[in-house]
Structure formats: structure tokens, C-alpha cells
Amino acid sequence: MSKLIVIGGSKLKGEIVVEGAKNAILPVLAATILNSGLNVIKNCPKLKDVEATVNILEKVGCKVKTEENTIIVDSTNVNSYEIPEELATEMRSSVIFLGALLGRMGKVAISYPGGCEIGPRPIDLHIKALRKMGAVIQEVQHGFIYCEAERLKGADIHLDYPSVGATENVMLASAFADGETYIRNAAKEPEIVDLQNFLIELGVNVSGAGTNVIRIVGGSKLKRSIEHSIIPDRIVAGTYLVAAGITGGDLTLKNVNSEHLSPVISNLRESGCRINIKRNHIHISGPARPRAVDIIRTLPHPGFPTDMQAQMVAYLAVARGTSIVVETVFGSRYKHVEELLRMGADIKLEGRLAVINGVRKLTGASVAAKDLRGGAALVLAGLAAEGETTVTGIHHIDRGYENIEGKLASVGAIIRREE
Ligand code: UD1
């Protein structure tokens, strides 16, 4: 079983180039199904979840070629609407194929999606919205969904919660629907804006992404041959900012959009980091020891991202003073806390609330990543801890970070992978 061995105590110094965003590339790859032609996608991260998505594209009939960070999808001959269980359960975002295949093929059969175990992740909002557009959806057997619509029709959809995946699914399904679709209380994440930009390049009539109402007019003629570059990964960037902060290091991150990171930057500044922003670079200088922050509440964008909660908890675990974190997006997303306690952290959990009493030093230990971001948090804690930390379960980390040990080692971290 692969693991990462981290020897803590080095101050990170140097430059890291941040990869393209996992959460943007996945829906964009699914969206290539809408286009019967050649889709050239640049700035793609090399990740397990991207490989899993490519496997699904190939299964439904696309031809896919990967050249360094460019993925070329020829979606001319999509000829299957079934996503087998072993592919769908590899990652939750496979649910995004619901909207894309429904739009292109008029039907889709998919097993209930897998992914991180961060509490119950229902897809009721996706199902409700697609039904409103005329899709007939049945759960054939436990966890297997069959969805059909001879012709989808535009609809006025209000999401009870601004779900990222449900917003994306409706955007994709409505591209071929008859008439106008409105998504109200839509998710406003930058990845939604990137998906809209891809769809516009494709020829879809869509507007409003980044606000809480998105409008799509179905039935536009699509372009067949397009090129798109994926936005930088704000969560990976945020993770490396914390790596600098927690080690008292000095890093320049390249290929970042600081606007996407404003809640993270604001909390890091509050805790004592010095941060300078220049076009698509961020320079951060960490304090000798961070200060606690008042309260961090995870929220849909533009609030503090839930995908940065675990890394921030690791950071605040060594801060001077007491910080409070409230996880409002997911019901149970504190699996990293138990592991941080093994490293000497002082954190009390009460439902969605974490009370973090910063300790002067963490101590290296053997810890297990239970999910993607929680795993990254343990690597960060290891960078700051005294002695050696072994992180197992790193297949979770590989789902969302491209060569994390290589990038950290290039700026002075003592970290290695053992197979
Ligand atoms: C996406 C991101 C994930 C991030 C999350 C929240 C991708 C591939 N993943 O996940 O990294 O943590 O946004 O920013 O982009 N919910 C329901 N019913 C539904 C759908 C969602 O109750 O039908 C709930 C979820 O259980 C969760 C909350 O809504 O509590 C947010 O989920 P959602 O925004 O849908 O997250 P994902 O799209 O799965």
C-alpha cells in the first residue's frame, strides 16, 4: 500500500506552478459529449479522477488522446448510454454524465456514484430538476438509475440548495432541451463559470454563471471543433498557501486566480501571513507561528470553501490561541481530526463545530487519509510536525493533487512516496 513519509520542520521556499482545476475539468470533459466533434482541452491536471472520467468517455464511444496537459476528446461517435458500476463508483462526479448523456442520447443508465466518504451525498436535487425537464427517472435496483427523455423541455428550476453538481447537470441537460431553462439559486463556484465558458465556446446560449440565476436557451447549433483551457485549481493553490503558512515558509504560486481564493487569503492574512498578489502569481510569507482566527464557517462560493476546511484545521492546530470552525456544507467532514489528535493536536468536535486550541508543536505519527482534502491536511500537519509522519490511504490524495510530493519536495519539503 502506497504511503507518504514526511519529515517535518523544513521551511518551504521557492515556486510552485499550480495545476488546472479538478472540479472544472470533470464537468468540462462530460460536456464534450454534447459536441459531435473534436474538443481540445488544455491545462488539464494529471489525476486519478481525470483518468476515471476519460475511462467513462471511452466507454460511451469517445476517442480520447492525452498529450502532456492537453486532453483531446473526439466525441463524434457516442454510441452507448450506460456507465457500468465499476466506473461510476470510482468517483462521485460521474453523476455529471446524467445530464450530458441525457442531452446527447436521450437516455442514460448509471450506477449510484461513489467518491469521497464525507457524509451522505444524495442526488435528489439532480433528479428533481431533471424530472422537471421531462426526464423519466427510475431506480431499477438499489443504487442503479435509469433515466430517459425522448425530448427534454426547458424548465424554471429552483434548487433548494446551490448544489454544484446539480447546477452543472442541469446546464448540460438543457443545452439540447426545447426552449429556455432557468436555474435559480444556482451554485456560483468559479468551476461553474468555467463550464459556462466552455459551453459558450461550443455554441450553447448560456448566461448568468457566477450569479444565482443561470439561463440556457436550448437547441443551438454546436461548433464541432473547439479548444478550451481549464482554470487553475483554487483548492490546490489554497493547500500550498497553507503549506507555506504552516512551515513559516516563503512561496510563490504561479498559475493562480487570487479572486477565487479571497476567503482563504483573508483568513491567512488574519492569522499573520503576508500575501502579495500580482496578476496570476501569489507570494506568501508565513509567520513564525500563526495566530488563531475567530471563526471560519464553510459556505457555498463566495464563502469559505468546504474543500479547504481540513487544511485550515491542520493550520490552526498549531496557531497561538483558540479558533472555531463550522462545517455547514457537508454533514460529516471531520475524519482528519481524529488523525490530527494522534499528532498531538487539541481539537474538540461538537457536531458541525470544531474548537481548535492551538498547540506549540505537533508530533510525527502514523496517520491515515480517509478522504481527499483530509489527506492533504495530514501532509500539511506532517510538514510542521516534529519528526516523521507516515500518511497512508494516499489514493485519496492522488484523486485531487498532481504529484503532491514532487511539488512539495521541489520547495524544500522532506517528503517521499513509498509503494
Ligand atoms: C462539488 C465539488 C466538491 C465540493 C462541493 C461543495 C466537484 C467534482 N466536487 O461537489 O469538491 O466539496 O461541490 O463545494 O465539483 N446535496 C443534496 N442533494 C443533492 C446534491 C447535493 O442534499 O442532490 C447536498 C450535499 O449532500 C452537500 C451539499 O448539498 O451537503 C453540497 O453538495 P454539492 O454542491 O452538490 O457538491 P458536489 O457537486 O457533490
- For the CA of 124, the closest atom of ligand 1 is 23
54-58, 95-99, 213-217, 228-232: which has the minimum mean pLDDT? 95-99
Distances (CA, A) of 235 to 21, 173, 209: 8, 27, 20
Crossing angle for the helix pair 164-174 and 97-105, to the nearest 10 degrees? 10
Query: How far away, in angstroms, is 162 Cα from ligand 1 center?
Result: 9
Beta bridge partners of 16: 253
Sketch out the chain's domains with CATH numbers. 3-19+232-418 (3.65.10.10), 22-229 (3.65.10.10)
Note the pLDDT of residue 46: 96
Query: How far away, in angstroms, is 119 Cα from ligand 1 center?
Result: 11
- For the CA of 123, the closest atom of ligand 1 is 23
DSSP for 83-141 reads E-HHHHTT-GGGGGHHHHHHHHHSEEEEEPP----SS----HHHHHHHHHTT-EEEEEE
387-390's contacts with Cβ under 8 Å and 24+ in sequence apart are: 387/7, 387/8, 387/363, 388/5, 388/6, 388/7, 388/8, 388/364, 389/5, 389/6, 389/7, 389/8, 389/343, 389/364, 389/365, 390/3, 390/4, 390/5, 390/6, 390/365, 390/366
Note the pLDDT of residue 92: 66
Residue bearing the CA closest to ligand 1, atom 31: 163
Cell, residue 401: 493533487
Is the predicted pLDDT of residue 263 greater than 60, yes or no?
A: yes
pLDDT > 70: percent of the chain: 97
User: For residue 21, how many C-alpha atoms fall within 13 Å in the half-sphere facing its CB?
Assistant: 26
Note the pLDDT of residue 115: 42
Mean pLDDT of 356-365: 98
Most informative mutation of 124, 137, 164 for ligand 1 (most atoms within 8 A of CB) = 164
Reported pTM:
0.96
Residue bearing the CA closest to ligand 1, atom 32: 163
Q: How far is residue 262's CA from residue 74's CA, in Å, rounded to a whole number?
A: 37
Query: How far away, in angstroms, is 342 Cα from ligand 1 center?
Result: 29
Is the predicted pLDDT of residue 40 greater than 70, yes or no?
A: yes
Q: How far is residue 35's CA from residue 66's CA, in Å, rounded to a whole number?
A: 18
Per-residue confidence band for 141, with pLDDT thresholds at 50, 70 and 90? low
Note the pLDDT of residue 224: 81
Beta bridge partners of 41: 71, 228
Q: Which residues line ligand 1 (CB under 6 A)?
A: 23, 26, 92-93, 121-126, 161, 163-166, 187, 191, 306-307, 329-330
Query: How far away, in angstroms, is 388 Cα from ligand 1 center?
Result: 34
Cell, residue 43: 491545462
Note the pLDDT of residue 121: 61
The beta-strand segments (E) located in 142-221 are 144-148, 156-158, 180-184, 205-207, 213-217
Note the pLDDT of residue 84: 83
Mean pLDDT of 203-228: 94
Residue bearing the CA closest to ligand 1, atom 17: 122
Note the pLDDT of residue 142: 65
Is the predicted pLDDT of residue 343 greater than 70, yes or no?
A: yes
Q: What residues are labeled active site?
A: 116
Q: What is the mean pLDDT of the chain?
A: 94
* Sign, CA torsion 417/5/3/358: negative
Residue bearing the CA closest to ligand 1, atom 7: 23
Q: How far is residue 215's CA from residue 200's CA, in Å, rounded to a whole number?
A: 12
Is the predicted pLDDT of residue 114 greater than 60, yes or no?
A: no
Note the pLDDT of residue 118: 44
Most informative mutation of 163, 169, 195, 231 for ligand 1 (most atoms within 8 A of CB) = 163
Mean pLDDT of 346-353: 96
Query: How far away, in angstroms, is 314 Cα from ligand 1 center?
Result: 23
Per-residue confidence band for 116, with pLDDT thresholds at 50, 70 and 90? very low
Query: How far away, in angstroms, is 24 Cα from ligand 1 center?
Result: 14
Residue bearing the CA closest to ligand 1, atom 21: 163
Note the pLDDT of residue 64: 98
pLDDT > 90: percent of the chain: 86
- For the CA of 372, the closest atom of ligand 1 is 11
Residue bearing the CA closest to ligand 1, atom 39: 165
